[in-house]
Amino acid sequence: MSAPLITPYYIVYEEKIRRNLDLITRVAQASGAQIIMAFKANALWKTFPIFREYGVSATASSLNELRLANEELGRKVHTYCPAYTELTIGEYLAGSSHITFNSLSQAERFLPATIAAGVSAGLRVNPRCSVVETDLYNPALPGSRFGVAPEDMPALLPAGIEGLHFHALCEGSAADLAKVLAAFEAQFGHLLPSLKWVNMGGGHLMTRKDYDVDALIQLLRDFRARHPHLHVILEPGSAWTWQTGDLITEVVDVVENQGVKTAIIDASFACHMPDTLEMPYQPAIAEASEEGAWEYRLGGNSCLSGDFCGPWHFDAPLRAGQRLTLLDMNHYTTVKTHMFNGIQHPSIYLQPLEGDPILLRQFEYADYKNRMS
Ligand SMILES: Cc1ncc(COP(=O)(O)O)c(C=O)c1O
């Protein structure tokens, strides 16, 4: 038995990634839709050889994502970014097969260059259908900056637009998509006959246990039957790496104040699990127990007062040296981590199908220093 890995570290499991890839491949085959991966949720490029086996394509929303997809998935991407500039558009077009504009003014400005580059152009529309409860993650929030609203849509699309894109879901169900799709077709359906493709955005959490995968397949098949000339694209992010990795951390000290016990860990909610504070949500911990008599908050090893989460219950008191497994910390989390407070960044490991975990990345003082100058 090899020595325990040094905490904190993220570990992602090849077996769980393949399980998601198998399911998404099945949905794509059964529905006839193309399902591509949004890089904002997963950029662990050393795991991309696994994704390449399944022929995964990607969608990028920045030049860094586009370049990483070009280099590490070895193909051109679908691109959507809220605003392109004269300085960036050339590089976007060079690395993209499809590009979506967020507004009519952006389309007007960059359509000539897009057509000249032979890239398929699309327009993002806002179907004005809100199914996301958390404002921070709701692209259809009143006053949203995303997509052209139905009342602003000209009778004829700008010449050269070949597709429409909408994105209105976050961790959504097939029933959520059905609602948004109905709103989309009611308001923009008259434009579809002249188009080549529709991109239904992300937020399709088809790898979640309770997701009705058959309903999604049927919904997509029905849409394709109504519009047989359209190529249908979905670009989920979370679904690809949902429940494929954990953050392993160690208790460093336990403090108590006014009856509140806090176990200070060698990781940080603010730095290493930012969604727990932004959303906010309380992650599951493998070692916790709902009926446990011992109640603790966990506190990050930073100086931010709000860098804590909880409470959780445990069957026995927590002590320094105890390891805790914070579950489902791959999608978005590994991309959003940062080095605020100079806190030691977790290493990243891949647990292959067989054998010991493989170290993908260990962070050094130089990583912290080089970000600042
Ligand atoms: C335009 C667009 N496409 C796709 C996604 C991926 O969404 P999710 O990770 O919820 O599936 C997002 C997420 O913000 C997005 O903004």
220 C-alpha to center of ligand 1: Å?
Answer: 18
Q: What is the pLDDT along the chain (373 residues), one digit of tens a residue?
A: 578 999 999 999 999 999 999 999 999 999 999 999 999 999 999 999 999 999 999 999 999 999 999 999 999 999 999 999 999 999 999 999 999 999 999 999 999 999 999 999 999 999 998 888 888 888 888 889 999 999 999 999 999 999 999 999 999 999 999 999 999 999 999 999 999 999 999 999 999 999 999 999 999 999 999 999 999 999 999 999 999 999 999 999 999 999 999 999 999 999 999 999 999 999 999 999 999 999 999 999 999 999 999 999 999 999 999 999 999 999 999 999 999 999 999 999 999 999 999 999 999 999 999 998 8
Instruction: Judge contact between 39 and 60, C-beta under 8 A.
Output: yes
* Nearest atom of ligand 1 to the alpha carbon of 235: 4
Ligand 1 pocket mutation, candidates 170, 241, 243, 336, criterion most atoms within 8 A of CB = 170
* Nearest atom of ligand 1 to the alpha carbon of 170: 10
Instruction: Ligand 1: list residues with CB < 6 Å.
Output: 38, 40-41, 80, 167, 170, 201-203, 235-239
pTM for the full model? 0.96
Region class of 328: left (phi > 0), else alpha (psi between -120 and 50), else beta: left
Distance (Å, rounded) from C-alpha 115 to C-alpha 276?
A: 43
* Nearest atom of ligand 1 to the alpha carbon of 169: 10
**What contacts 134, CB < 8 A, 6 or more positions away?**
170, 279
236 C-alpha to center of ligand 1: Å?
Answer: 6
* Nearest atom of ligand 1 to the alpha carbon of 165: 1
Residue nearest to ligand 1 atom 4, measured at CA: 202
Token couple for 156? 């004829």
Residue 186 exposure: Cα atoms within 13 Å on the Cβ side: 9
Q: What is the pLDDT of residue 136?
A: 87
Distance (Å, rounded) from C-alpha 355 to C-alpha 358?
A: 9
201 C-alpha to center of ligand 1: Å?
Answer: 6
Residue nearest to ligand 1 atom 7, measured at CA: 202
Q: Let me know the angle formed at the C-alpha of 220 by 226 and 137, rounded to the nearest 5 degrees.
A: 120
φ, ψ at 328 (rounded to 5°)? 60, 60
* Nearest atom of ligand 1 to the alpha carbon of 236: 11
Q: What is the pLDDT of residue 297?
A: 98
Which residue do the tokens 């890239």 mark?
119
**What contacts 331, CB < 8 A, 6 or more positions away?**
41, 42, 237, 238, 240, 241, 242, 244
